[in-house]
Every structure is written in structure tokens, then in C-alpha cells.
Chain A
Amino acid sequence: MQADAAALSARRRGRLRREIPGALALAPTALVVLVVFLGCMLWTVRLSFTSSQLLPRFDFVGFEQFERLLGMGRFIVSAQNLVIFGVLFIAGCLVLGYLLAVFIDQKVRAEGAFRSIFLFPHAMSFVVTGLAWQWLLNPELGLQRLVRSWGWESFTFDWLVDRDMAIYTIVIAAIWQAAGLVMVILLAGLRGVDADLWKAAKIDGIPTWRVYGWIVTPLLKPMIVTAVVLLAISVVKLFDLVVAMTHGGPGIATEVPAKFVMDHLFERNNIGLATACAVMMLITVLAVLAPWLYARTRGGQRT
């Protein structure tokens, strides 16, 4: 009995000896998690239920800020833009990224060079991307002028200053920046496909495009899901690209929620409304993540 107890306490001591240094080392991060990732977030959520303007107040006005937000033209435009941008950007990146991956996978020469070219925009800042495309799409001196100088006088490509089309220029620039990322992820997946599968398909005489379409793509599903989640997160965070490329204009045609929050926090002294918009962004992210996390945990993988 006593020996048992002694052994037990010795084990416990051993475990403590093992745990304390680790716990100490992780303490700063734990503090950050508590104060920043949990504390700040809850503070922001709390503020969204107050009437705070220039300074935080801790009254309670229920969903008043959210009601106002949902009735505001600018917020509606921002939310619509996020949807338009999100759908087109994710679809565009997936299609282009997948095509690039498939074509690179055809045992081409200079594969490394092609891969470098398709991925390099991803290394750059969104501000740089925004300014590069802003210049290229400048109606007076950019592509439009160039094509006209080739003799096609009526050519118009002035999306950048066109209220209805400006958001699509943001999509183009963002796809340019992120398609390479999708290519890398899917190429890794393609390279993981069993060579025997290709042999079998060849023997059966199935054309290559059908193998990709019907056999390989389902195998890549996990990669595609990962890519979609990564892209979706960057959709919600969209900010610098818009600031650099259009400032949210023409008018408010390319406003996005992240910019709405920043403008109302600092410029318009409306903390309550800004935090309400931030909470809406949080809900959007959770809506994107929830099914994915659910599928993962159901998939029986350790988290």
C-alpha cells in the first residue's frame, strides 16, 4: 500500500517536474490568448451592443446598432460586394489554379519557371497588387488607351472608374495574386495521385481529360476544401487591396466590411456601429468555418 502511494506520488512529482517548465514557457502565449484573442474579441462584441460613439460606453441598447447597420446603404453595398467578390474570387482562383496545376502536371519543360511565375504575386503585398492593377486599368493611360492606339478606336475598358464594374477589377487583381496559391496546393495533390491509377486508366483507354474530371478531381477534394477555406478567410479580411486600388470608390461602389469598420472606428466616431460590423464579419467567418470543422471532426481526425 505505502509503496504504491509512494510510487504514485513520485510519478505525480515526475509529471509535475515535467509540466511546470512547459507551463511556464507557454504562460505568455496563454496570456495573449486570454487577453487578446478572447478578451479583445469579447470586448468588441460587448461594445456592439452599446451606443458608443467617440469613447466606449457600457450601456446596453440591444440590437440597435445591428438594426441600423442592416438598414444602411453603405453596409448593404459592402456586404453585396463581399458576396460578389467572394464568389467570383474563389471560383476564379479554383478554376485558374486547377487548370494551371493540371497543365503543369503534363511533364512540361521549364516546369520550375512556370511555377515561379504563377506563384510570385503571392509573395507581394496587396497594396502593391492594387497599385499595379490600378495603373494597368487606368482608362486614360492604361490598357484601354493601348488597345485604342492599335486602331480599335471604340474599345472601352474603363471598369476602374465605372461604378457597376469597379468591383470586378478588384476580383481580377485578387485572382492574379492568389491563383498561384491554389495551384501549389492542388499540384501537391496531383503529385500524390497513385501512378497505378493513371496506368489503369490508360489501359482502359479513358481520355486524359475524363480521368481528370471524373477520377482525379474527387481525389483532390480535401485539397480543394482547404483552398476554399484559405481563400474564404482572405475574402472576409479584404481591405488593403481596396484601399490601394479604388479607396472604396467610385463613390462607395467598392466598399467592403473591413473598411467600413476602420472608417467608422476612427473617422466617424461611431464605435458601436463599427464593432457591430466587426461582429457581422465574425459571424461570416464562423459560417464559413462551421461546416468545415464539423466535417473534420466527423471525419474522425484528431484535432
Chain B
Amino acid sequence: MNTHPSETVADRTSVASPDTAQGRVAEGRRPQRLTLARIGVYAFLIVSALFFLLPVWVMILTSLKPMEEIRQGTLLALPAAPSLDAWGQAWSGACTGLNCDGIQVGFWNSIRILVPSLVLSVLAGAINGYALSFWRPRGAELMFGILLAGAFIPYQLFIYPLVRMFSVVGLYNSLTGIVIVHVIFGLPVMTLLFRNYYASLPVELFNAARVDGGGFWTILFRIILPMSAPILIVACILQVTGIWNDFLFGLTFAGRENLPMTVQLNNIVNSTQGERLYNVDMAATLLTALVPLVVYFVSGRWFVRGIAAGAVKG
């Protein structure tokens, strides 16, 4: 599981407030002259950017080269005759053991895992946050505290008992099983996000709706959820990247039929027949990174906001 932009226990930050990282002078007066210091600033940033881009750049180049070219060890040379063969092979022809259907199997499995896990965990977070903020039953805060503490505990402490429990009820190595696991371990962060967001909404809204005789679900679906667009987006981004990037749970709970893309990728890269095809490996790796990267670049500021929501005011 990728480190969820985690949370701190008490912050009730407003996610809907303007992006903090955009707060001060994002577009301030630019200095007129290029001093030595300015050159230094840009030099540092550009060198850093190269460090961050290099691995991905090399992966892309490698995935476009035939093996003969890769063997020459010219890592940074542009491919003489770029071809997408390795991408095709990675998508639909790479082997894990006997199955040579490529990484697409894992892709569709990941989608099948992601969709229900995403819907259920975001919905659970919304209901929990709403109940915690507006209905406040006794003992709820204590439960919430334990839940948050759970987010810090390494998964290795839960895995074995969960495996045994799932076996008893026949959910071990099943799609339902892996979805339930994702929902369970998404609860702390999702609940926190929605609780903090709802805490920033005016409580008069809720009280007025109560006076009008609205019940629990009516108020949630009619009034609260329609106002929750920003936090829903943030929650979805966090869960999509988190669930897609999971490796440990997929490995342990999904079973052979439902292995997610990350696990499939690791299997493909490690089951070679003769020479290791680095171009196919790299194409498969890039394909696995594609979904979260698309989410990241499309959502840009929202992604940052998700991190900020979890980790402001230590």
C-alpha cells in the first residue's frame, strides 16, 4: 500500500479552503534581473528535476528499443528505430508461468478490485464522517480514536488472523475478500477526511433540516452529499491511487484469479524464459504506473490537497 497521505489526530482542516500551496504569492512580482543567485536557484531546480525524471525517461526509452539495442548499454541514447512491440508484448503476451496473456489480466483484475472497493470505502467514510460530525452518538469519538490509531499499525499485525477468518467464511482468495480488506483498511483515512470536512460545515444547516423532520439518510443524501463534491474528489483520488498501488493485500488475499496489476507485474518481471526482456519489463512497469499517473496529472491540485488535508498542522 502506498503511504496514504496520512492524518494527524486532531486537525480539522478545511479541505475546501483554497489550496494552501497556492496561498501566498504564487504569481508575485518577478525579479527583473538574472543575478547569480537566480541562476543558482534554477540550476538546483533543474538538476533536481533531472533526478526525478531520469528513471522514468530511461524506462520509456528502454521500452521503445529492441533487445539488441538495449544490450549495447547505451542507456540514454534515443531508440534508433522506436517500436511499440514491447508494449504490445507487455500488454497481451508476457508470461507468468504458463499464462502468456500479458499484464492486461492484472489490469482488468485491478479494475474489478478497484471499482467496488472505491465506491464502498468512500461511501463508508462519508457515512461515518457524517454520523460522527452531526449525530455524535456516545462512544463514537472513542471508536474513532481507536480507528485512527489502527491506521498507524503495520498490516503484518492483522494479516494472519484475517486470513484465517476469511478462510472460515470462504472468502479467502476471492474478489469479495480483497474488496472487504481494502474497505476495512481504507476506513481510518476516509472517515477522518469526511469527519474533518463536515466539521467545517455550518451546523445550522443540519439543525434546520432536523427541524424540518429530515431523517438520517434523507439529510445525508439530500443536503450533505450534494455539498461534499470537493471532499469526494479528494477521497476518490486517495483511494484510487492507494488501492491501485497496493501489493501486500493483493498478494495475500486476492487469489490467483484476481491478482492485481502490481502483483502480476512482479510475477512477469520475475518469470523469465531465457533472456530477460528488459523492454517488455519496462513497458509492463510503465503500464502499471499509468492509471495513478493519469489520475495524478489530471487532478493535479486536488492530489496535493489530499496530502495537505491529511498532513497539515502536525
Q: Which residues does A use to contact B, with CB under 8 Å?
A: 18-26, 28-30, 32-33, 35-41, 43-45, 47, 56, 96, 99-100, 103-104, 106-109, 111-112, 114-128, 131-133, 135-136, 140-143, 145-146, 148-149, 176, 178, 180-181, 184-185, 187-188, 191-193, 195, 221-227, 229-230, 233-234, 236-237, 239-240, 243-244, 257-258, 261-262, 265, 271, 274-275, 277-279, 281-282, 285, 289, 293, 296, 301-303
Contacts and interface: CB of A to CB of B under 8 A. Distances in A.
Contacts, number: 311
Interface of B: 1-3, 5-6, 8-10, 20-26, 28-31, 38, 41-42, 44-45, 48-49, 51-56, 58-59, 62, 70-71, 73-76, 124, 127-128, 130-132, 134-138, 140, 143, 145-147, 149-150, 152-162, 164-165, 184, 187, 191, 210, 215-216, 241, 244-248, 252, 262, 265-266, 269, 278, 281-282, 285, 288-289, 292-293, 295-297, 300, 303-304, 307-308, 311-314
A143 B137 contact: no
Q: What 7 A-B pairs have minimum CB-CB distances, sorted nearest first?
A: A22-B135, A226-B314, A21-B216, A125-B245, A145-B73, A123-B296, A37-B150
23 contacts: A26-B132, A33-B146, A37-B147, A37-B153, A43-B160, A47-B160, A118-B49, A123-B296, A124-B292, A125-B289, A125-B292, A126-B245, A131-B265, A141-B278, A146-B73, A185-B308, A188-B21, A229-B8, A243-B247, A258-B156, A262-B252, A265-B159, A285-B154
B78 to A, nearest CB: 14
Contact of B153 (A41, A127, A178): A41
Given A29-B128, A136-B54, A261-B156, A240 B303 contact: no
Q: Is the interface of B mostly helix, strand, loop or mixed?
A: helix
B266 A32 contact: no
A297 B191 CA distance: 21
Nearest to B246: A125
Nearest to A230: B6
B158 A41 contact: yes
A271 to B, nearest CB: 7
B125 to A, nearest CB: 9
A120 B293 contact: yes
Given A23-B137, A128-B288, A40 B281 contact: no
Contacts of B304: 115, 119, 184
Given A181-B5, A303-B145, A120 B160 contact: no
B26 A111 contact: yes
B140 A22 contact: yes
Nearest to A261: B156
Contact of B21 (A146, A191, A193, A274): A191
A30 B124 CA distance: 12
Contacts of B137: 19-20, 22-23, 26
Nearest to A127: B262
A244 B267 CA distance: 10
Contacts of A244: 247, 266, 269
B184 A36 contact: yes
